[in-house]
Structure 1
């Protein structure tokens, strides 16, 4: 796990710096400066652009993670893989963008209640789709080269700083709202250009097409895998976009409140994403080398680690929601409290079940993941149709949580049935029991006169009981090793 630990540590540090910036962005800046309906518009624009780029990519991001090990050869420019990676999706983008532009009247009719807010920014949505597509393709290529920390910096730190800066300019009257939307788009364009420049700086920007790329692996195999990956990715994309789109069709304001709840719950996923960025290409290498023992060991260790981190963060966020919403100073956003708790359940389950999805999608049996994902897509849409009209934004959150729990249980079962691997042992139950006890103790504490004191008291008790319990028991060796490293550095200082 050497390269995973190095890149994972960098990604985690960057991600938590970004988490701090994102917290300021989503709780202190955007909700204070923008109305819920304006935030809802942004979430709808991003959701539409994300679905459009998914279709345009044709699954090539997953194809890259799965097959790039066969092309990797720096001396030959990786057989000209990058031009293939960019060329086909960009051609498809032209088709998708044309269809969306011609379908503009239909889209505006779906959002008739706020069409006046959406219509002026429809073109910006198409440009946003192009930027997200380019960045996603370049990011997959960069990850496959085992350089994932710079892309983490771009998305988790720089882009958020750019959005904060644009919001402050809007709040102080230097930008109109239309100008802010363009600046928001510019943040996506900036990170795509910078990632392209980074690849050039490290000598990996091989843009010259070669025929050799057609001989490394059969093109038909790449296209078929991409097609399966595209259909499989639909469910993951719907999981983070369909809620905003369907809520937005009822009310942009509800979509805006939900977007803040979703952003708050995203803090729980930070350590998982940091790990998975490096885990994906590594697991692909394990499959290539038939290193099943290494893969099973990695599966168990990462599951144990993500369970420990996930439980701590879920409790920390849930216990301090009054503090978080208190910083926004807009009572309308507190309507998302229950939604946050429901979303945390789904994200915690995602962490506890570990890297099962990556194992399936990179395995020889990757086609079966399509069945799970298509079923999940239907479940997400069906639950939203059923629950959003009855429960509003809480219905969207409940649908999201049920979908995450369902897909992870299904994938965990499939990995166990197909390969005989399951990542759980008694220590997982011990960790969850310890987390429940520490959380109950922190929750039982009385509120202090000041919300900051309440935060420090509950957070301190939770950290002391839970962190101390993990160190004393040694249930998570990675936590003990990290603490030993910190102590050694402190002594050296």
Structure 2
């Protein structure tokens, strides 16, 4: 747990600084300066670009996390792995970009209600896809080198600052909306270029191809794993993109409101993502070493920690949604309140289930993850097809929550059935009950005329009751240990 704790804490700190910037961006800048339809356009462009980058990557981000331990040898330039990692996906991107461009008339027909807004910016989507592809490949490489903090800084802090700056330039009239879209694209290009420069600065930019890369592991094995990972990743990407894509076909405005709701709920996923950045390559190492005892212990610890922190964050956000939407000063966005609550429920389920997905996808039985992901993709599309026409953006959020709960239940069962590992004990239930009780007391408090006082009262009561409860019961040993280091609680 040592390297995970150090990297995880560092990533969590960076992520929460970025979360503060993102909160300002989401609630105080973009919704005030852009109408819902404009935000919906950005959401659709990013979703289309993300899907294009995903297909082009050919699953090599996962392949890197799974197989890089076999190539790791700094003196030998890691056997020329980086040129392989970049070469095949970038070559495939040329084909994908051509298909996307030829499909432009179909895309404009699908988004007929807002085609006049999408059409002029369709080309920017292709540039966005290229930048996302390059960054994702380089990030997978840096993760495998256990250098995760700088990439966290780039995405969680720097990119958000660049977007905030671009939005302010648009709001003050220095940029047109077309210029803002190009600046938004530029933020993705900037972090990709900086990550490339970072690898050069630490001496890990090994770009010379070598034949040795073909001898470490059979190329067919890498491509087959990448193919399975690609099919699996599609469902995960659909989970965060299909809602915007399908909502956008009805209205870019709904997609924009839903995008804000999704961003608000993202705060809950920050600690999970910070942990998983380091957990993925570490679990791959555990499989390589056959360290099943360490893996089971890690599985249980992360589940317990995610439950404790995730419950607190989900309830804290839910209790203070009126405050968050009041800061936006555009009543139209408050239509996403129910969507936020549903999205929080889905993300909390995902966090509580621990690292089951990482265990499956890095295990010898990784092929089975394809079945779960194929079912997830079908479920997402099917539920959206049924619920969006009836419930609009609330239907999209409900589909998202149900899909997350379903896939995590299936994966948890699979890990238990295959390896006899399951991360739950009665402490998980006690943590949830404690969090729910603290939130019920906070919610029962009468609101003040000032939204700031209401925020402080409810947030303070939730924090006090929940924190004291965790320390008094010792349900989460890691929390108690941290408290003792800070001079709080029993020695």
Q: Normalization by structure 2: what TM-score? A: 0.99
Distance of 2:161 and 2:486 partners within structure 1: 29
Residue-by-residue CA offset, 1:363-422 (whole Å, 9 max, x unaligned) = 000000000000110000000000000000000000000000000000000000000000
- Greater than 4 Å deviation, 4+ residue runs: none
- Aligned partner of 2:147 in structure 1 is 147
Could you list the runs of 5+ residues in structure 1 that have no partner in the other structure? 489-493
- Aligned partner of 1:75 in structure 2 is 75
Secondary structure of the residue aligned to 1:301 is helix
- Aligned partner of 1:66 in structure 2 is 66
- Aligned partner of 1:404 in structure 2 is 404
Does residue 370 of the first structure (1) align with residue 370 of the second (2)? Answer: yes
- Aligned partner of 2:283 in structure 1 is 283
- Aligned partner of 1:332 in structure 2 is 332
5 Å matches for 1:388-399? Answer: 388-399=388-399
5 Å matches for 1:159-198? Answer: 159-198=159-198
- Aligned partner of 1:250 in structure 2 is 250
- Aligned partner of 1:218 in structure 2 is 218
- Aligned partner of 1:39 in structure 2 is 39
Residue-by-residue CA offset, 1:124-166 (whole Å, 9 max, x unaligned) = 0000000000000000000000000100000000000000000
What displacement does 1:236 show?
Answer: 0.2
- Aligned partner of 1:122 in structure 2 is 122
- Aligned partner of 1:316 in structure 2 is 316
Distance of 2:393 and 2:107 partners within structure 1: 21
* Total equivalences in the alignment: 489
- Aligned partner of 1:461 in structure 2 is 461
What displacement does 1:478 show?
Answer: 1.1
- Aligned partner of 1:448 in structure 2 is 448
What displacement does 1:487 show?
Answer: 2.7
Secondary structure of the residue aligned to 2:256 is helix
Distance of 1:341 and 1:455 partners within structure 2: 17
Does residue 49 of the first structure (1) align with residue 53 of the second (2)? Answer: no
What displacement does 1:482 show?
Answer: 1.7
What displacement does 1:486 show?
Answer: 2.4
What displacement does 1:451 show?
Answer: 0.3
What displacement does 1:443 show?
Answer: 0.4
- Aligned partner of 2:470 in structure 1 is 470
- Aligned partner of 1:296 in structure 2 is 296
Distance of 2:194 and 2:202 partners within structure 1: 12
Distance of 1:485 and 1:179 partners within structure 2: 50
- Aligned partner of 1:241 in structure 2 is 241
What displacement does 1:471 show?
Answer: 1.0
Secondary structure of the residue aligned to 1:11 is helix
Secondary structure of the residue aligned to 2:250 is coil
What displacement does 1:472 show?
Answer: 1.2
Give the CA RMSD over aligned residues.
0.8
What displacement does 1:193 show?
Answer: 0.3
What displacement does 1:484 show?
Answer: 2.0
Distance of 2:132 and 2:158 partners within structure 1: 15
Could you list the runs of 5+ residues in structure 2 that have no partner in the other structure? none
